[in-house]
Structure 1
Amino acid sequence: MRARRLTFAALVVAAGLSLTACQNDDDAVGQADPSSGSSASAAASSSGGGSDSGGSDQDGGKESPAPDSAGSTAGGSTSGGSGGGSDAKGGKCTTDGLEITATDNFIDGDPDGTVVVALKNGSGADCVISGFAGVDLKTNAGTISAARKGDPGDPYTLKNGKEIDFYVSYPLNESGGSGVRITGLVVTPPNETKSVTLDWPGNSSLPVSDSGNGGQVLVGPIGSAGQGG
């Protein structure tokens, strides 16, 4: 009987030890679960940071256009463009580089006489010309300066060997008298001070005006009479 009681007691102790071991295992599992939850939260937080970083990367991927040498952004609008839209290139056309001629261009029935002055580029290089030439008529009553008529237009590149023309208009002497006799045509290219004197190809005289000279003489802008090939 004593032996059975000892055996039963031993069984009770063993069962108690087994139960304690199970509780310890459960506690260990319970402690491991929060740790896993924390790791998952950290991973989610890290993923959120990656998204924010991705947003920054996207912003960073949109690079601003590099500034050009003028300080404006490439592909953007720039101020101070190319001089009023003109593409004219080259140095200024000079008197010494131009071959200047004049021809009569009067057409029967016109109320006024017309002379065309041609400026041919013989400088050996392209040059730029624009505006009005200075025109004076030398007469026996003194010098008559032509008045400008029309808009000057944009600068024009005159290729080497090519010409550009302008017109000079003057009143016709239909009085039957001798009028004011023309003795020469003086032409000064635009923006130049050196002149050339040509023979006058038009009518030999102008009508006498109230002021004693030949009345109003007009000059058109460079290119107003067309341009040669």
Structure 2
Amino acid sequence: MKYTRITALAAIGVAATLSLTACGSDGSAKDSSSENSSSSSAPSSDGGSKSEGGSGSGGSAVSDAKSGPGEGAGARSDAANGETETGGKVTFCKTANLAIDAMDAAPDAESGRIDITMINRGSTTCSATGFAGVDIKDADGTSNPIERGQAQPRVTILKPGDAAVFNLAYDIDNTGGSLASPTNIQVTPPNETHTVSLKWPAGAGEIKGAYTDVEVYPTHTTN
């Protein structure tokens, strides 16, 4: 009987040990399962928020913002380098670097034309593209702005020593009754603010009508 009781107690102890081991195994499995579940759900949660337009759309916006200023900086860099529609990376000619002169170039007795030549006396290439500003000063002291003629500007790039020319055109009054008495031509080169005053060419035909009938045409090279 004593042996039987010991055997029974041993069996109970083994059963208890197995029960505790089983409980520990279940707990460990649950912890492991919980950790695995947490680890796999984290990317899903992040991915879900991006696809819903939260941090995902924010990340895209940041990326776009980074690329945006880069492109803008490139455009500003080109502008700073003097990139112009004239096709050359040059600045506009300065009045101080131009030798300017006016001469009578009438093709016949009916058509008046004054050629105004600008020579680049600077040390760098420059652009004289466009319309010069022109006023004609009369003997009575008044200054009269000249209107632009119907013509498109031509690319006019001047290397040192090169010349550009533009024209004033008008009809000649051969009656001797012209009311215009021009004394000076005030010229402001294209895209400049400094003006030079030239003498009205001697021998040029008298202006028919008023100064509003005179037109200025854009610059072009003499080549």
Interval of TM-score (by shorter of Structure 1 and Structure 2): 0.5 to 0.7
Are 1:86 and 1:155, in contact at CA under 8 Å, matched by a contact in 2?
A: no
Are 1:146 and 1:219, in contact at CA under 8 Å, matched by a contact in 2?
A: no
Q: Between Structure 1 and Structure 2, which shows a larger proportion of helix residues?
A: 2
Distance 1:187 1:145 in 2: 10
Q: 1:220 aligns with which of 211, 216, 219?
A: 216
Distance 1:45 1:194 in 2: 85
The alignment of Structure 1 onto Structure 2 pairs a total of residues equal to 204
1:168 alignment partner AA: L
- Offset at residue 43 of structure 1 (A): 2.1
Q: 2:196 aligns with which of 194, 197, 203?
A: 194
2:222 alignment partner AA: G
Q: 1:205 maps to which residue?
A: 206
Distance 1:124 1:159, change over 3 A: same
Distance 1:13 1:37, change over 3 A: same
- Offset at residue 118 of structure 1 (A): 1.9
1:115 alignment partner AA: I
Matched, 1:73 2:69: yes
Q: SS state of the match for residue 47, structure 1? A: helix
Distance 1:24 1:78 in 2: 79
Q: SS state of the match for residue 192, structure 1? A: coil
- Offset at residue 153 of structure 1 (A): 6.5
- Offset at residue 27 of structure 1 (A): 0.9
Provide TM-score, normalisation by structure 1.
0.60
1:173 alignment partner AA: D
Distance 1:75 1:48, change over 3 A: farther
- Offset at residue 186 of structure 1 (A): 2.8
- Offset at residue 47 of structure 1 (A): 1.0
Question: Which of the pair has more CA radius of gyration?
Answer: 1
Distance 1:113 1:15, change over 3 A: same
Q: SS state of the match for residue 100, structure 1? A: strand
Q: Within 5 A, what are the aligned runs for 1:96-175?
A: 97-104=98-105, 106=107, 112-127=111-126, 129=128, 130-136=130-136, 145=144, 147-150=146-149, 158-174=158-174
Are 1:135 and 1:219, in contact at CA under 8 Å, matched by a contact in 2?
A: no
Distance 1:89 1:16, change over 3 A: same
Provide TM-score, normalisation by structure 2.
0.61
Distance 1:22 1:44 in 2: 32
Are 2:146 and 2:211, in contact at CA under 8 Å, matched by a contact in 1?
A: no
State the superposition RMSD in angstroms.
Answer: 4.8
1:174-211 residue CA offsets vs partner (Å, 9 max, x unmatched): 5xx44449786534234224312253464x3344x5xx
Distance 1:100 1:171 in 2: 21
Distance 1:142 1:24 in 2: 125
Identity %: 15
